[in-house]
């Protein structure tokens, strides 16, 4: 009798599973609701300043850099770790690329200049790869806790950048490169925003649909169990931090193009912001849960909030850090409550 019931259950297993998979992902729905609510409130209360092309272009430009770094931090968090060095990898990559371009590409013109600019970009990305692999090496091979390892390398990468620049700003990049930062597509999109969208789409797919992604989620859930399941943990971890490094480097390069300069300690406040965004986007700080496109939605939400707050001159910038701090703690509390609820729901669903 029992076996008959079981076969019936498994027969409907596949159809049911698709259905509930969508249903279970309530976090994305929640983020969409928050995003549209803020958008509508801002549009109604500040129609002329908020609903302007200038505002949209400005928001696009601002969010790209920390939005990218949040994806890198998010990948590290899915692996059960964290990447505090993302911002400084971005700065170091921008400085390496910037110095290279200044030295080689400024002196020449035409195709030769383009070639050196491309080489500079590749060198910047390579810097990100190397920095990320070093983080991964410390964490996967030497078993340093991710929090401490990247806290250390954060200081290290900033230190290297300071030595390379003597602490000053790298500026005066070749024109064609700086032009990239000013290019708009269809008038409403900045080029950097398009690049960002491509990276988001790629990593949503890569982390969500490939065997690497699945192993990453499982490793983030239980590192010991992946080891017992015959997975080479250190390879997965090294690659996660390498990806975080290269994504951060691309953020650094886009920033270099946008403001036409780079500095060793640029964007320090983003360290905290990237963590806030990753957690708001549904990445579980314990590892193993969350979606890359959730981070994308969270980035948009944070930028909408930030721009909207800017439209009130009476709210000073001094409040900003406090507001983000409160936001992070609130998100953590809300996630805790919601997790408890969904656990209780699962319990009801599964108990006979």
Q: Which residues bind other proteins (CB under 8 A)?
A: 3, 6-7, 9-10, 13-14, 16-17, 20-21, 24, 209-212, 214-215, 217-218, 221-222, 224-232, 288-289, 346-347, 349-352
CB of 33 to other proteins, least distance (A): 24
* Identity of the residue, 33 or 214, whose beta carbon is nearer to other proteins in the bound complex: 214
The per-residue DSSP string of 257-326 comes to HHHSEE-TTTTTTHHHHHHHHHHHTT--TTSS---HHHHHHHHHHHHHHHHHHHT-TTS-GGGHHHHHHH
CB of 287 to other proteins, least distance (A): 10
- 111 Cβ contact list (under 8 Å, min separation 6): none
CB of 228 to other proteins, least distance (A): 5
* Identity of the residue, 120 or 213, whose beta carbon is nearer to other proteins in the bound complex: 213
Element (H, E) at 189: strand 189-190
What is the Cα–Cα distance from 57 to 52, expressed in whole angstroms? 9
CB of 2 to other proteins, least distance (A): 8
* Identity of the residue, 143 or 224, whose beta carbon is nearer to other proteins in the bound complex: 224
Distance of CA 174 to the CA centre of its chain: 28
CB–CB of 233/119 below 8 Å? Answer: no
CB of 314 to other proteins, least distance (A): 45
Angle at 289 between CA 137 and CA 331, to 5 degrees: 105
* Identity of the residue, 24 or 185, whose beta carbon is nearer to other proteins in the bound complex: 24
CB of 351 to other proteins, least distance (A): 5
* Identity of the residue, 314 or 348, whose beta carbon is nearer to other proteins in the bound complex: 348
Cα distances (Å, whole numbers) of residue 287 to 15, 136, 214, 222, 271? 29, 16, 13, 9, 19
Please report how many Cα atoms fall inside a 13 Å half-sphere around the Cα of residue 150, on the Cβ side: 25
* Identity of the residue, 15 or 168, whose beta carbon is nearer to other proteins in the bound complex: 15
């Amino acid at each position: 009798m029992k076996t008959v019931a079981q076969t019936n259950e498994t027969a409907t297993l596949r159809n049911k599973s698709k259905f509930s998979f969508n249903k279970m992902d309530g976090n994305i729905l929640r983020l969409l609701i928050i995003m549209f609510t803020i958008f509508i409130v801002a549009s109604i209360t500040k129609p002329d300043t908020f609903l302007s092309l200038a505002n949209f272009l400005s928001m696009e430009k601002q969010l790209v850099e920390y939005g990218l770094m949040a994806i890198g931090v998010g990948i590290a968090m899915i692996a059960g770790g964290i990447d505090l060095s993302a911002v400084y990898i971005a700065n170091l990559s921008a400085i390496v690329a910037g110095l290279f371009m200044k030295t080689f590409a400024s002196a020449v013109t035409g195709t030769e200049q383009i070639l050196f600019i491309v080489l500079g970009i590749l060198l910047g990305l390579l810097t990100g790869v190397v920095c990320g692999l070093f983080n991964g090496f410390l964490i996967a091979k030497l078993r340093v806790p991710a929090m401490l390892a990247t806290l250390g390398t954060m200081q290290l990468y900033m230190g290297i950048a300071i030595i390379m620049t003597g602490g000053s700003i790298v500026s005066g990049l070749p024109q064609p490169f700086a032009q990239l930062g000013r290019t708009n597509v269809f008038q409403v999109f900045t080029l950097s925003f398009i690049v960002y969208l491509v990276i988001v789409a790629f990593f949503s797919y890569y982390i969500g649909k490939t065997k690497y992604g699945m192993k990453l989620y499982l490793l983030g859930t239980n590192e010991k169990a992946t080891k017992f399941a015959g997975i080479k943990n250190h390879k997965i971890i090294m690659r996660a931090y390498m990806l975080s490094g290269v994504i951060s480097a691309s953020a650094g390069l886009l920033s270099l193009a946008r403001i036409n300069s780079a500095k060793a300690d640029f964007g320090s406040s983003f360290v905290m912001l990237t963590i806030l965004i990753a957690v708001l986007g549904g990445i579980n700080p314990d590892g193993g849960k969350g979606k890359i496109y959730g981070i994308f939605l969270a980035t948009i939400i944070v930028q909408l909030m930030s721009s909207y707050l800017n439209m009130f001159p009476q709210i000073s910038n001094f409040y900003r850090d406090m507001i983000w701090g409160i936001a992070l703690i609130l998100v953590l509390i809300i996630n805790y409550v919601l997790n408890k609820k969904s656990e209780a729901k699962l319990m009801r669903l599964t108990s006979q």
